[in-house]
Amino acid sequence: MAQSQRISQQPSQLVDSYGRVHRDLRISVTDRCNFRCSYCMPPEGLPWLPREEVLTFEEIVRVARLLIDRFGISSIRLTGGEPTVRAHLPALVGQLASLGVELALTTNGATLRLLADDLAKAGLNRINISLDTLDPERFRNLTHRDSLPQVLDGIDAACQAGLHPVKINTVVMRGANDDEILDFAEFGRSRGVEVRFIEFMPLDAESNWEDQSVVGVDEIVSRIGSVYPLEPLAQGSEPASRYRYLDGQGHVGVIASVTRSFCHLCDRVRLTADGQFRNCLFATSELDLRALLRGGASDDEIAAAMAGSVAEKWAGHQIGQVAFIRPRRSMSQIGG
Q: Output the DSSP codes for 155-220.
A: HHHHHHTT-SSEEEEEEEBTTTTGGGHHHHHHHHHHHT-EEEEEE--S--TT----GGGB--HHHH
3-class secondary structure, 282: coil
Q: In DSSP terms, which residues pair with 287 in a beta bridge?
A: 277
Q: Report the interhelical angle of 89-97 vs 57-71 (nearest 10°).
A: 20
**Phi, psi at residue 149, to the nearest 5°?**
-60, -40
249-278 binders of ligand SF4 (CB under 6 A): none
Asked if 85 is part of the footprint of ligand SF4 (rule: CB under 6 A), the reply reads no
Cα–Cα distance measured from residue 53 to residue 262, given in angstroms and rounded to the nearest whole number: 32
36 binds ligand SF4 (CB under 6 A): yes
Binding footprint of ligand SAM, residue count (CB under 6 A): 20
Pick one of 55, 64, 77, 80: the residue that binds ligand SF4 (CB under 6 A): 80
In the bound state with ligand SF4, the residue whose beta carbon lies nearer, of 17 and 79, is 79
Q: Which is nearer to ligand SF4, 41 or 221 (CB)?
A: 41
Return the amino acid letter for 66: L
Q: Is 199 in the site for ligand SF4 (CB under 6 A)?
A: no
Residue 4 in contact with residue 19, Cβ under 8 Å?
yes
Q: Is 81 in the site for ligand SF4 (CB under 6 A)?
A: yes
Residues 170-229 that bind ligand SAM (CB under 6 A): 171, 198, 200-201, 203-204
Judged by CB under 6 A, which stretch of 89-97, 103-111, 212-220, 286-294 contacts ligand SAM?
A: 103-111
- Under rule CB under 6 A, residue 38 binds ligand SAM: no
Smallest gap from residue 40 Cβ to ligand SF4 (A) = 3
Q: How far is CA 28 from the centre of its chain?
A: 9
Instruction: Name the site residues for ligand SF4 (rule: CB under 6 A).
Output: 33, 35-37, 40-41, 80-82, 108, 130, 332
